[in-house]
């Protein structure tokens, strides 16, 4: 039996999700061993540096390491020896054009851990996977583990938001565990006892439902964003104002105002790939029509990128060739340095391919952006990026950009033209400072 009082846990995969989970569990008093196959990442974590930007995580990493409750390794043998509860937090990126999820990392994590499980153990997947994955992995785990069926697998999807990862992990809005094993349920309940005592709902489901909770939550959120962006498209041609429309909708508490912000749309390492993987899985299950609306959700989202480029092109007289363009924002959203499927970088690199000289500034994501998009220019401050610009595009709504001073910016640009891709600025204020202001979904 897994010891009920065991306070030891391993976290396999120490990216955005895993490193945050590991540091938060150490903060909660657990003894945590983080494991990754990326040696450089493990070295960075061991030295007390977080390999990405996540507010508040540095402090937790440092205090966990100093307290001796948090360690890192690349050895699966050490992980199996260390604890009897293992959380799988490895990536599940989009595989190819089919949109399906690439499960090679979750498969590898289970296949690497299993042969070392000589004592009863609980393995809990936290990665986002297509429905049906966990049942296959559970069988594989017990087939490969020396301890056989005493190595049990459950699935507990993770809902943290990058930028709020620490807060969301320490105070989750719900814990879902898919399992029919009392032992798995008990181990996961023990992990989140403090949160459950404080009122966090704890839901026990079957494996399939747990897997579906995560992908359907993301499908719903993506749909809500694309819904308001579809209204923005209509508003643009009908002469309406989507910001006022969204506000009026938000007072209906059946609708609510969250995720109802019109703009450049969603990106990142989760929503785009999760809705595509969900569609691909529905196709395999023979229920493709049930999710065909997600194709439209994806298409609306992509069209916002094209529309943002069109607005900027119109503003500078119809042609990007030889023009100077400033892009404010590279991360897919503020308070993160994650540039996976970043709408801002997508727009920036398309404009560069149309002949403009594009300079990008972002408070946290410059290093990653530089690596992924060497065709763009980068500046270390907003003012430097905006120098001689024919048009400025605000594409990630960092507070620094929301609070930008239009008069200060006016002194460095060639032309006072701004495209507010996130509806983050006050148009009246910017126009009063002499700027030509354009935004999505507004006149």
Ligand X SMILES: NC(=O)c1ccc[n+]([C@@H]2O[C@H](COP(=O)([O-])OP(=O)(O)OC[C@H]3O[C@@H](n4cnc5c(N)ncnc54)[C@H](O)[C@@H]3O)[C@@H](O)[C@H]2O)c1
- Note the residues at the interface with ligand X (CB under 6 A): 12-18, 35-38, 41, 89-92, 105, 108-109, 112, 127-128, 158, 160, 162, 269-270
Catalytic residue among 11, 129, 270, 394: 270
Tell me how far CA of residue 227 lies from CA of 17, 216, 293, in angstroms: 28, 16, 11
| Residue 13 Cβ vs ligand X, minimum distance, rounded to whole Å | 3
Are the C-beta atoms of 352 and 309 separated by less than 8 Å?
no
Residue 258 counted as an annotated binding residue: no
Q: For 232-237, which contacts have Cβ atoms below 8 Å and span 24 or more sequence positions?
A: 232/262, 232/263, 232/304, 232/440, 232/441, 233/300, 233/303, 233/307, 233/441, 235/441, 235/442, 236/307, 236/440, 236/441, 236/442
Are the C-beta atoms of 416 and 397 separated by less than 8 Å?
no
Catalytic, 24? Answer: no
Residue 46 counted as an annotated binding residue: no
* Residue closest to ligand X, measured at CB: 15
In the complex with ligand X, the residue whose CB is nearer, 40 or 237, is: 40
Helix (H) or strand (E) holding 406: helix 406-410
In the complex with ligand X, the residue whose CB is nearer, 39 or 403, is: 39
| Residue 93 Cβ vs ligand X, minimum distance, rounded to whole Å | 7
SS3 393: strand
| Residue 104 Cβ vs ligand X, minimum distance, rounded to whole Å | 8
In the complex with ligand X, the residue whose CB is nearer, 128 or 142, is: 128
How far is the C-alpha of 117 from the C-alpha of 139, rounded, in Å? 14
Residue 320 counted as an annotated binding residue: no
User: Rounded to a whole number, what is the distance in angstroms from the first to the last CA of the chain?
Assistant: 65
Are the C-beta atoms of 105 and 129 separated by less than 8 Å?
no
How far is the C-alpha of 412 from the C-alpha of 2, rounded, in Å? 64
Residue 333 counted as an annotated binding residue: yes
Residue 160 counted as an annotated binding residue: yes
Please provide the size of the chain in residues: 443
In the complex with ligand X, the residue whose CB is nearer, 272 or 441, is: 272
Residue 388 counted as an annotated binding residue: no
In the complex with ligand X, the residue whose CB is nearer, 340 or 442, is: 340
| Residue 45 Cβ vs ligand X, minimum distance, rounded to whole Å | 10
| Residue 125 Cβ vs ligand X, minimum distance, rounded to whole Å | 9
Non-local (6+) Cβ contacts of 16 within 8 A are: 52, 54, 162, 165, 269, 338
Give the residue numbers of the binding site for NAD(+).
36, 41, 92, 128, 162, 273, 340
Catalytically active residues, by annotation? 270
Give the residue numbers of the binding site for substrate.
159-162, 214, 259-263, 267, 333
């Amino acid at each position: 039996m897994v010891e009920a009082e065991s306070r030891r846990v391993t976290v396999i995969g120490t990216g955005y999700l895993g490193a945050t989970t590991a540091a938060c569990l150490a903060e909660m008093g657990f003894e945590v061993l983080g494991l990754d196959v990326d040696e450089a990442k493990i070295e960075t974590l061991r030295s007390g540096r977080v390999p990405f930007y996540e507010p508040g995580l540095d402090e937790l990493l440092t205090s966990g390491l100093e307290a001796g409750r948090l360690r890192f390794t690349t050895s699966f043998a050490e992980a199996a020896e260390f604890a009897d509860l293992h959380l799988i937090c490895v990536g599940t990126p989009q595989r190819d054009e089919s949109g399906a999820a690439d499960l090679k990392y979750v498969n590898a994590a289970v296949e690497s851990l299993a042969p070392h499980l000589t004592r009863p153990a609980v393995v809990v997947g936290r990665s986002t996977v297509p429905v049906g994955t966990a049942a296959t992995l559970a069988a594989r785990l017990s087939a490969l583990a020396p301890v056989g069926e005493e190595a049990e697998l459950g699935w507990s999807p993770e809902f943290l938001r990058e930028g709020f990862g620490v807060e969301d992990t320490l105070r989750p809005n719900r814990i879902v565990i898919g399992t029919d094993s009392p032992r798995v349920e008990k181990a996961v309940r023990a992990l989140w006892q403090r949160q459950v005592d404080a009122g966090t709902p704890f839901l026990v489901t079957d494996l399939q439902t747990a897997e579906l909770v995560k992908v359907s939550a993301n499908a719903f959120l993506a749909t809500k964003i694309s819904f308001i962006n579809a209204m923005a498209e209509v508003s643009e041609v009908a002469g309406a104002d989507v910001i006022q429309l969204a506000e009026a909708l938000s007072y209906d508490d059946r609708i609510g105002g969250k995720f109802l912000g019109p703009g450049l749309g969603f990106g990142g390492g989760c929503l785009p790939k999760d809705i595509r993987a969900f569609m691909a899985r529905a196709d395999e299950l023979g229920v493709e029509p049930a999710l065909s609306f997600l194709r439209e959700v994806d298409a609306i989202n992509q069209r916002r990128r094209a529309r943002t480029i069109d607005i900027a092109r119109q503003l500078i007289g119809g042609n990007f060739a030889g023009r100077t363009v400033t892009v404010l924002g590279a991360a897919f959203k503020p308070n993160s340095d994650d540039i996976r499927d970043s709408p801002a970088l997508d727009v920036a690199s398309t404009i560069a391919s149309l002949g403009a000289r594009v300079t990008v500034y972002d408070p946290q994501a410059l290093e990653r952006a530089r690596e992924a998009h060497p065709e763009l220019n980068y500046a270390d401050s907003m003012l430097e990026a905006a120098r001689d610009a024919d048009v400025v595009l605000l594409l990630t709504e960092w507070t620094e950009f929301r609070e930008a001073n239009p008069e200060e910016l006016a002194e460095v640009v060639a032309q006072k033209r701004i495209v507010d891709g996130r509806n983050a600025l006050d148009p009246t204020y910017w126009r009063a400072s002499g700027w030509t202001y354009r935004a999505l979904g507004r006149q």
